[in-house]
Amino acid sequence: MKEKIYEFLMRLREKGHRRLIDEMLWVYRYARLYRKQMFFYTALGLVGTAVSLLSSLVSRDMVDIITGHETGLLVRTFAIFIGLNVGNIFLNQTSTYFSNRISISVDNAIKADVFDQMLVTDLESLQKYHTGDLLTRWSNDASTISGGILNWIPNLIIYTVRLVSTFAMVFYHDPWFALIAMLGMPVSILTTRHMLNKMRQTNNSVAAMNAKMTGFNQETFSNIQTIKAFDMIRLYSRHLRGLQAEYLDMRMTFQRLSLTASAIMSLAGLAISYSCYAFGIYRVWSGAISYGTMTMFLALSGSLSTTLNQMISLIPTAVGISVAAGRLIDIMDMPKESFAAGRLVDEFWEKNRDAGIHMHLTDITYRYRAGTSVFSHAEFEAHPHEIVALVGPSGEGKTTLLRIMLSLLHPQSGRAYVYGSATPDMIKLIPSTRRLFSYVPQGNTMFSGTIAENMRNVKENASDEEIVDALKMACAWEFVERLPSGIHSPIGERGKNFSEGQAQRLSIARALLRRAPILLLDEATSALDPATEEALLKNIMRDDYPRTCIVTTHRASVLDICSRVYEIKDKRCVPMNPLPANRYPK
């Protein structure tokens, strides 16, 4: 059966519905993981349909018993009727339970998968999207799909069986009554077909607008200090209300489409209901059917109309699932990093752990995707027990060069590799070689949690003693030991509770704790006073660990401690010889 479904979808894809079919196949990939639970949920729905049909038959018999004054059968029939309704309540509650369970399970599976895929997506590709947009896709779109899978696939089966079985029962008793009850189907189908494309376009716009609002809120709350400092509160309040008005307009457009379709179908259903009433009264008046049969017909005709509308209501759900799947596919299809060489890098590190690792970049050229050239034919090398500085004006490419070392960015030409002191092995810089690096970027990079938890993010099994040693080397122990809870003291969001200089020292301690052979410090001592900065760098130099340390800086005082200095200027990276005094003042 599964192969037939897949073959059918492939045939549709060949006929030009490629995007829609890709989205359906992507959703199906997750749905099939929970096929047993969905089968059980569907079975409950089908049993509920059978119970409803039996209730209609029992209701017919009960009316006929009452009008025929057959009191002997009334109690038994009434008891059966009550039993069926109680059973239907039980089925509905059980169905709701499994509905929630499956929905949450699918939601977790999609979010975990998308989360993993985002983390290994090529950085340059990922940065094309705003953080708020990524968050909306990961959260809202995944939830739309997880909720929609259960509301769509099983319900389509349940509604279809309910429609066919109800129609068959009515047709069996009176074909004309069945045909009248189904007159609303052409109206509903034509209305839905006309609205479908408009609803999809509007849904796309609403999703994009929702992402824009999420991004705005995320940026606002992240930069609330700046907003206050520049007295931009009223400006941002106006921005928010403008976005809200735009979002409201889009939502109302979608709502108008839905309401128009619903109103047309409701009017059609009302006309059919009145026609069924009139026809039922005529059939009873002419003696063709009993009162009980007419009651059953009216109930079943209402069920037919309701079920048909429920089936049609699945179309907006399908549109929402399709749009959400398409937005997530855009993320999932971006270039991914490969970590297949992880074991090779581990073996290389193990062989050179005691002697250290060298880095060499030669003839490196890098341009942003927009075409802007950062540097060309850059040369750089660094060796164990060295501190090598990168200097140059802001915006000339110092941080970019560090990101190339981390294989976060990829040069258009040149060679970037590491080689060992104990072995002749050479390895190209790739994502797997990041395990050879510790990195302290610009800005505050501490996470919420305790100091110890932040430290163990880079070395899960680190002992308290190891953490304290790293803090001492980073000149951070002097303030940490005075805290009431020491290394178990809490750190707030973005390093809250600590000064910028303290947060920098904690970040450096975390990098040192990892004991990686190559340490990258990107303006990591900019908030430190000269004495603390000098003490910290000398601690690194005196350490017996064969560490290769690379720093970017604007401070001349740092250059005095460095083994060598490279300057990035005029799109070149060249050694400075001799070192100009106070070229880059404090």
Tell me: the pLDDT tens digits for 240-275?
Answer: 888 888 888 887 877 777 777 667 666 766 666 667
pLDDT-above-70 percentage for the chain: 81
**Tokens 């970019």 appear where?**
400
Comparing 73 with 318, which gets the higher pLDDT? 318
pTM above 0.75, yes or no: no
Does the pLDDT at position 206 exceed 90?
no
Residue 283 token pair:
């059939």
Residue 205 has a pLDDT of 75
pLDDT-above-90 percentage for the chain: 18
Q: Give the three-class secondary structure for 362.
A: strand
Tell me: the pLDDT tens digits for 168-194?
Answer: 877 777 777 767 666 655 655 565 555
Q: Which CATH superfamily is domain 342-575 in?
A: P-loop containing nucleotide triphosphate hydrolases (3.40.50.300)
Residue 384 has a pLDDT of 92
Q: Which helix (H) or strand (E) holds 360?
A: strand 357-367
Average pLDDT over residues 124-145: 82
**Fold identical between 2-332 and 342-575?**
no
Mean pLDDT rounded to a whole number for the chain: 79
**Confidence label for 438 from pLDDT (cuts 50, 70 and 90):** very high
The most confident of the ranges 289-303, 304-318, 364-378, 388-402 is: 388-402
Comparing 196 with 359, which gets the higher pLDDT? 359
Residue 57 has a pLDDT of 73
Tell me: the pLDDT tens digits for 374-410?
Answer: 888 888 999 998 889 998 888 788 889 999 999 999 9
Average pLDDT over residues 278-291: 71
Out of 232-236, 308-312, 346-350, pick the least confident.
Answer: 308-312
Residue 572 has a pLDDT of 84
Tell me: the pLDDT tens digits for 500-524?
Answer: 889 899 999 999 999 999 999 998 8
Residue 537 has a pLDDT of 85
Comparing 141 with 467, which gets the higher pLDDT? 467
Residue 16 has a pLDDT of 46
Comparing 558 with 346, which gets the higher pLDDT? 346
Fold adopted by 2-332: ABC transporter transmembrane region fold (1.20.1560)
Residue 297 token pair:
């017909």
Q: Give the three-class secondary structure for 74.
A: helix
Q: Give me the DSSP letters along 206-239.
A: HHHHHHHHHHHHHHHHHTHHHHHHTT-HHHHHHH
**Confidence label for 153 from pLDDT (cuts 50, 70 and 90):** confident
Cβ-based neighbours of 304, under 8 Å, separated by 6 or more: 163, 166, 167, 170, 181, 182
**Tokens 């479908």 appear where?**
196
Where are the domains positioned within the chain?
Answer: 2-332, 342-575
**Confidence label for 220 from pLDDT (cuts 50, 70 and 90):** confident
Average pLDDT over residues 54-71: 68
Residue 508 has a pLDDT of 92
Q: How far apart are CA 335 and CA 448, in angstroms?
A: 30
Cα Rg of the chain (Å, integer): 34
Dihedral over Cα of 546, 542, 416, 379: its sign: negative
Q: Give the three-class secondary structure for 339.
A: coil
Whether 153 contacts 38, CB under 8 Å: yes
Does the pLDDT at position 586 exceed 50?
no
Q: Give me the DSSP letters along 152-205.
A: HHHHHHHHHHHHHHHHHHHHHH-HHHHHHHTTHHHHHHHHHHHHHHHHHHHHHH
**Confidence label for 98 from pLDDT (cuts 50, 70 and 90):** confident
Out of 45-49, 59-63, 370-374, 518-522, pick the least confident.
Answer: 59-63
**Confidence label for 427 from pLDDT (cuts 50, 70 and 90):** very high
Residue 570 has a pLDDT of 81
Does the pLDDT at position 449 exceed 80?
yes
Average pLDDT over residues 50-66: 73
Residue 9 has a pLDDT of 47
Does the pLDDT at position 526 exceed 60?
yes
Average pLDDT over residues 523-551: 86
Q: How far apart are CA 287 and CA 290, in angstroms?
A: 7
Does the pLDDT at position 11 exceed 60?
no
Out of 195-209, 329-343, 483-497, 513-527, pick the least confident.
Answer: 195-209
Residue 580 has a pLDDT of 46
Out of 2-16, 151-165, 432-446, pick the least confident.
Answer: 2-16
Beta-bridge partner residues of 358: 419
Cβ-based neighbours of 21, under 8 Å, separated by 6 or more: 9, 10, 12, 13
Average pLDDT over residues 459-464: 91
Residue 12 has a pLDDT of 47
Residue 269 has a pLDDT of 62
Average pLDDT over residues 100-123: 83
Residue 511 has a pLDDT of 92
Buried b (16+ CB within 10 A) or exposed e, 254-266: beebeeebeebbe
Question: Omega before 431 cis (within 30°)?
Answer: no
Q: What is the DSSP letter of 497?
A: T
Comparing 126 with 463, which gets the higher pLDDT? 463
Residue 421 has a pLDDT of 85
